[in-house]
Structure 1
């Protein structure tokens, strides 16, 4: 049977779906399928204070994580198959040789391209699938794509079109802002697992058990920087740059996720524990920035096709309250997200409200985000719509749009406490 693994806003889904891509039988029991996503939008964005240096407003065409997927199954025996997937990213708005950041020699082709998405090989069985390679862990959890298949329903955001800069899942649930110990203000932004595919992943995805499925994963080094057998600089001391905080072999990342979809109820629970591999500490940090995170959500879909959910995320980054004097205090914050959607015929509307609490109890370090969306199904796999996002940072907070500085030029020089808003006209075509 031709199968493909559904893509979820830059993520791997838990389960295999019947393919709508073009399948090709290349041998007895072996099939290859071509599928993917074209996602692009026209966007008007701006910041709404005057503290920012540089550009504060822009209109641009922007890619929303387009990709091409080649997947394959080869039968071993009844119920058992060899499987592989190659997901390659492309940008519909620029050429690979165009600068990813204005004025630099880092090109767009350096941040996307062949096999840059979830790419792995493995074995599927009557019990589940075991895969080895690059895989998205944690950060897309609770994004819902029930319009592709009921098994992919989830309690969080569920737009059929999206603006990747405006997804609250990325902008709020997956950001923690390190805090300056002296001023209590945010120092840039840290993203859960970098908001990208984790490398060196061994992953097991279960089959569906009457609405329940789960996933377990381990990576020795999800960042892919595997040459961290560094020695201390001669003058390095704890809390200063050049200090080796941990042996490479002492690190590692564990992930576990579970979902339930049956009837009108959808629920999700995820856990992540990352221990940094080797390397040196940045100045002001007392040690490695290990990360622990828990995310949970539940939703209910009423018979009138109204869906209401709630998502909670608690993330902590060790040693991320920093200053001139080394400290071991962690940067911690909690985020609540309330997504509401309603569909009728080929139309759907969406409202999502997200709120981040203060980081490590420092005053004025929280933020809120509001999303409003409308989309229309031109076919079962092609959607157009409008998408509005507004991020409001408190005076000492620093939450920024997803892909700031690479796909959205106006956010390159973002500053603490600034607000941001964007409206986009977008199209998604799953082929």
Structure 2
């Protein structure tokens, strides 16, 4: 039996080689020290290690079949390694008319609007993870990307709602308890490049949760805009995002539960939430060094058009990369988040301070 299996594996090697498979990935790890409410925690963290396999087949007449399987791995604790194909994984076709893929696919924010967040990190205090929330992969999705024409490009993604069951554990005081149920996702992306300048826009619409009758489920919408300049070692990007829908669409959900925020602001009503944020990032390459700095401003959260007073936040991150080679980079950064009074009251502190140091190797 063993000989038969070995023979079969050997026989399959030429076929695999002929399929033109590329193995790629990155090992990313570091140390993070986070100070919240006077308590400091220092941890060894994995910050996005992954391994992937991808390939293509020429089908003739300018048409190619493409595929990719990418899996997250955790170097800080092997027991927490990701499931197979847990990251962007797909099968599709590409030609002069564009690219069509289906699988677990990045939305336009994840694939094209990440320039404003150039950091490696696990804690959101050390990067722009709060600002870029929702920029992620969509399971059970199909995405079309147009070819680029005169600097313009477009993309559209649709994600299906496969789990239509109702969450019977719904808590009317905290509507985020229904967030484990699927929504349909529609995502449109537009991009334009003109020399060193670029502009990108993403719109995401998510249908209501399939929730109990008394659940205040709302559709979710998100607008994101990013503009920037990159030339002569200088990179500058500015971003804006507007999020509407359930409470979990807002940045405040990254810090506190709705019930805690209601207690702090003396506002107990549930309704349509809205939050706005602005971001600015700059980097400059000097030899092997690349200093970088970012600022974020989140304005007061709104409920049914009325502001929840003192519910915003401010953040800055400053750090630098040092390239040991084209594939190996050391980095370090300091991050600080300042919460407005009522958000701080709900959170239990008015600030978060963090420091991180990392090493990244790509292959």
Distance between the aligned counterparts of 2:315 and 2:78, measured in 1? 32
Give CA-to-partner distance per residue, 1:371-401, whole Å, 9 cap, x none. Answer: 10111111222211111111111122279xx
1:84 is matched with 67
- Contact (CA 8 Å) 1:163, 1:387: kept in 2 or not? no
Unaligned runs of 5+ residues in structure 2 are 1-12, 249-257
2:4 is matched with none
- Of Structure 1 and Structure 2, which has the larger fraction of its residues in helix? 2
Match of 1:44 among 22, 27, 33: 33
Aligned ranges 1:251-266 → 2 under 5 Å:
252-266=184-198
- Contact (CA 8 Å) 1:26, 1:32: kept in 2 or not? no
Partner secondary structure for residue 185 of structure 2? strand
- Contact (CA 8 Å) 1:318, 1:331: kept in 2 or not? yes
Give CA-to-partner distance per residue, 1:23-54, whole Å, 9 cap, x none. Answer: x984697311100111111122211x35xxxx
Match of 1:340 among 264, 275, 282: 282
1:208 is matched with 148
Q: Which runs of structure 1 show a deviation greater than 6 angstroms over 4 or more consecutive aligned residues?
A: 319-326
* Cα deviation, residue 65, structure 1: 0.9
Match of 1:385 among 301, 323, 331: 331
Give CA-to-partner distance per residue, 1:341-367, whole Å, 9 cap, x none. Answer: 111222110010001000001111100
Distance between the aligned counterparts of 2:40 and 2:16, measured in 1? 54
Distance between the aligned counterparts of 1:357 and 1:241, measured in 2? 22
Distance between the aligned counterparts of 2:300 and 2:75, measured in 1? 38
* Cα deviation, residue 227, structure 1: 4.5
Partner secondary structure for residue 171 of structure 1? coil
Which structure has the higher relative contact order (CA within 8 Å, separation 6+)?
1
Q: Name the TM-score, length of structure 2 as normaliser.
A: 0.80
Partner secondary structure for residue 149 of structure 2? coil
- Contact (CA 8 Å) 2:45, 2:122: kept in 1 or not? no
Q: Name the TM-score, length of structure 1 as normaliser.
A: 0.68
1:171 is matched with 130
Match of 2:228 among 292, 299, 302: 299
Q: Is 2:90 aligned against 1:120?
A: yes
- Contact (CA 8 Å) 1:333, 1:359: kept in 2 or not? yes
* Cα deviation, residue 241, structure 1: 9.3
Give CA-to-partner distance per residue, 1:92-135, whole Å, 9 cap, x none. Answer: 11121xxxxxxxxxxx24xx231111111111122221111111
Distance between the aligned counterparts of 1:286 and 1:81, measured in 2? 47
How many residues get paired?
Answer: 327
2:9 is matched with none
- Contact (CA 8 Å) 2:108, 2:155: kept in 1 or not? no
Q: Is 2:215 aligned against 1:308?
A: no
- Contact (CA 8 Å) 2:336, 2:353: kept in 1 or not? yes
Aligned ranges 1:85-104 → 2 under 5 Å:
85-96=68-79
Name the stretch that deviates more: 370-379 or 316-325: 316-325
Distance between the aligned counterparts of 2:230 and 2:17, measured in 1? 43
* Cα deviation, residue 277, structure 1: 4.2
Q: Is 2:132 aligned against 1:143?
A: no
Give CA-to-partner distance per residue, 1:134-160, whole Å, 9 cap, x none. Answer: 11225535212xxxxxxxxxxx2334x
Distance between the aligned counterparts of 2:319 and 2:168, measured in 1? 51
1:375 is matched with 321
Distance between the aligned counterparts of 1:197 and 1:416, measured in 2? 32
Q: Is 2:321 aligned against 1:425?
A: no
- Contact (CA 8 Å) 2:344, 2:351: kept in 1 or not? no
Aligned ranges 1:390-409 → 2 under 5 Å:
390-397=336-343
Give CA-to-partner distance per residue, 1:386-420, whole Å, 9 cap, x none. Answer: 11111111122279xxxxxxxxxxxxxx9354421
* Cα deviation, residue 336, structure 1: 0.4
Match of 1:62 among 35, 41, 45: 45
Distance between the aligned counterparts of 1:241 and 1:371, measured in 2? 31
1:274 is matched with 206
